Amino acid sequence: MIRSLVPDSSVVDAFDRACDGQRTVTVCGTEHLHLLRRLGREAWIDEQLWLGRLARASTQPGMRRAPLLAVARRASLTAEQLQGLLAWNSARPGSASSLPGGQSLDPAATARPATIET
């Protein structure tokens, strides 16, 4: 049995940003591990990871009901990343309408993302 990490853009660790985008798996052999790593890379969606990071940031102290731009700064997202994840989210089936911190994810309701300061 081999225990390892594979890429998965749907994984955002609740506390440790360094663990984002990695899923722990246990496999029977290296061939299976290589397959899961390849599939993880092929299925990777940057916007999915960014949305997870944004959701995590929205629950941090002082971020409840904070403006989306402030939450994006806390999540270390650029203006382009925020715009990209909002567009990706609104175009996908089952899109999220808001973050756990109460912020709307409606791209039309978002104040000019280009004003994010990094």
d(C-alpha 95, C-alpha 111), whole Å? 20
The answer to whether the CB of 23 falls within 8 A of the CB of 4 is no
Q: Tokens 């973050």 label which residue?
A: 99
> Do residues 73 and 118 make contact, with C-beta atoms less than 8 angstroms apart?
yes
Residues 13-31 pLDDT 10s: 988 999 999 999 999 999 9
pLDDT tens-digit profile of 31-53? 999 999 999 999 999 999 999 99
Residue ranges of domains in the chain: 2-43, 46-115
Please give the mean pLDDT across all residues of the chain.
Answer: 92
